[in-house]
């Protein structure tokens, strides 16, 4: 991830969470001009479906759960979403599921976090050894914020879909999610 250092130095950035307000405001990203966007990977299908892809998608979870999150709730087939990754950038925790990395067709940059899994390094050839941790607060949006400020050098941060609560419709996401049907 060191290659991305100062990516948007002295420019604003927008970090995008998966909260219920996302469905009301995400379309505004079409007019973002030269503002870098970092989104939780879980938003991939949603942002792609509305024609507002993020500049960078960020993943933090180590398990295979992240694979389904790329397309779960979307309007296209699983294969269509994986094809879209060809022109997208992923910023991934070093313990990201190898299955997700195999399916992702675009650029991948790695970061470490306070609980590193160094065994994962055996799965990735030529991994960039970047010793600075991404402090994330235990969530992907926290990682997006830290990356935008500490690594990309953004001068200011805008938040989108950063609700951290259930919406009036008792949903935690901006689309129909399996988590909402189980937790809502």
- Residue 182: predicted pLDDT: 62
Residue 40: Cβ within 10 Å count: 27
pLDDT of 106 higher than 80: yes
Q: Are 40 and 18 in contact (CB under 8 A)?
A: yes
- The answer for residues whose C-beta is within 8 angstroms of residue 90's C-beta and 6 or more apart is 41, 56, 57, 58, 59, 104, 106, 107, 108, 109
C-alpha 143/C-alpha 42 separation (Å) is 13
- Is 125's pLDDT higher than 70? no
Report, as an integer, the average pLDDT of 123-149: 69
63 against 70, higher pLDDT: 70
Instruction: Flag whether pLDDT at 163 surpasses 70.
Output: yes
- Statement: residue 3 has pLDDT above 80: no
Q: Quote the radius of gyration of the chain (alpha carbons, Å).
A: 16
Give the model's confidence band at 124: pLDDT under 50 very low, under 70 low, under 90 confident, else very high: very low
Q: Within the chain, where are the H helices?
A: 22-25, 44-49, 65-69, 78-84, 98-103, 140-146, 178-183
For 69, the token pair is 């999150």
pLDDT band at 139 (very low <50, low <70, confident <90, very high): confident
pLDDT, the chain, mean: 82
Percent of the chain having pLDDT more than 70?
Answer: 74
Instruction: Say what the pLDDT of residue 107 is.
Output: 96
Kindly indicate the confidence band of residue 172, based on its pLDDT and cuts at 50, 70 and 90.
low
């Amino acid at each position: 991830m060191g290659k991305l250092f100062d990516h948007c130095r002295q420019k604003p950035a927008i970090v995008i969470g998966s909260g219920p307000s996302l469905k009301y405001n995400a379309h505004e990203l079409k007019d973002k001009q030269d503002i870098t966007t970092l989104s939780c990977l879980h938003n991939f299908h949603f942002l792609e479906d509305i024609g507002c892809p993020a500049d960078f998608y960020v993943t933090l979870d180590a398990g295979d759960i992240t694979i389904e999150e790329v397309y779960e709730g979307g309007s296209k087939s699983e294969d269509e979403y994986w094809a879209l990754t060809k022109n997208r950038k992923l910023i991934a925790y070093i313990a990201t599921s190898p299955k997700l990395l195999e399916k992702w067709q675009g650029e991948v940059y790695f970061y470490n976090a306070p609980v590193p899994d160094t065994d994962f390094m055996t799965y990735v050839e030529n991994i960039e050894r970047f010793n600075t941790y991404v402090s994330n607060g235990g969530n992907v949006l926290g990682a997006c914020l830290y990356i935008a400020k500490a690594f990309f050098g953004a001068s200011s941060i805008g938040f989108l879909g950063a609700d951290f609560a259930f919406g009036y419709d008792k949903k935690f996401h901006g689309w129909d999610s399996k988590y909402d049907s189980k937790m809502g």
